Structure 1
Amino acid sequence: MKQILTQYAQYNLWANRLVIEAMLALPTRSLNIEIESSFPTIKETALHIWSAEYIWLERLKQNPEPLWVQGIFIGLAKEMCNNWQRTSTELMTYIEGLDDTSLNAICSYSDRKGNTYTTPVWQVLHHVFNHCTYHRGQLITMLRQAGATAIPGTDFIGFVRMQ
């Protein structure tokens, strides 16, 4: 199980980097134009992905008051993307430090509404990667609508073929 989750973490980091490169190749104004999707702009969608990765990593580390970055971040897109990549790297490093017992351990956490839950660590990680993939797909569509012409392929099989 650790091998699979480590590979997903590596894939997540790789795919995020490709999308970030495509985002940052656009004029800044393009990242903030309104596009109908789960979130109103490319920047807000990317911020949501980073925020989710960050809060889940903090929950896994048993931080009792994890920060929801999306509610407070006001910086530039490049800073946001650098932080997003850093969080993805930290997530990968976190997984590399786990063993099968740790992966099966129960993570107790509260959502942002204060509801408490318990979930095995491996299921939390699976959720994080699935969530990122879902929203990266939205980013690809939004990038096209914003005028990006160099759209990266971010399918898992593309990552695997490079190995």
Structure 2
Amino acid sequence: MKTILRMMDHLYWADGRILDALEASHTKDAELLKLVRHVAVAEQVWLSRLQGKDSTQYALWEEAEGLTAIRQLFEANAEQYHSYLEELGESALDQMISYSSQNGRSFQTSIRDILLQVLLHGQYHRGQINRALRMEGAEPAPVDYITFSRL
């Protein structure tokens, strides 16, 4: 549990860093903004499943409303994940969660694997965002875990 909590702290930090880099770049790339919104909404989707709620109302690939709205979504996600994890014990990590995917398929996945999915999915897309920023000539955000761990 300690490792997952630490990795979640990294996720919150990295989400903020990538948003800061996007703001500093003044990018107008709609696909790049859609991608960062996707990360935030995916976090929200998985959280709703962990909470036993339906997630099918969330659209994963819509146009972004702007970085301010995305930042607010990331902040709300962080607050809700923190509350969820605060009440979760080590033994609960292997509990199976039943849920439906966005296209209606039924699955069962452990809480541990869902949390790892959230962590790895975000890092994958932050890498894509950094690459796009670099290609635009903007400064990418250093979001590696080791950078976070040195703070």
Same-fold call, TM cutoff 0.5 = yes
> What residue number does 1:25 align with?
24
Q: Which segments of structure 1 move beyond 4 Å, counting only runs of 4 or more?
A: 71-74
Query: Residue 72 of structure 1: CA displacement?
Result: 5.7
- Residue 86 of structure 1 and its aligned partner are, at CA, apart by 2.1
Pairing 1:92-131 to 2, within 5 Å after superposition: 92-131=82-121
Offset at 1:88?
A: 2.8
Once the two structures are superposed, what CA deviation does each residue of 1:84-138 show, in whole Å capped at 9, x if it has no partner? 2321332233222200222121111000111101111011100110000000000
The total of aligned residue pairs comes to 151
SS of the counterpart of 1:119?
A: strand
RMSD (CA atoms): 1.8
Gaps of 5+ in 1: 34-40
2:57 corresponds to which residue? 67
With normalisation by structure 2, the TM-score equals 0.90
Q: Distance in 1 between matches of 2:11 and 2:101?
A: 23
- Structure 1 window deviating more from structure 2 (93-102 vs 56-65): it is 93-102
Aligned counterparts of 2:57 and 2:25: Cα–Cα separation in 1: 29
Q: Does 1:15 align with 2:5?
A: no
Give 1:69 deviation, angstroms: 4.1
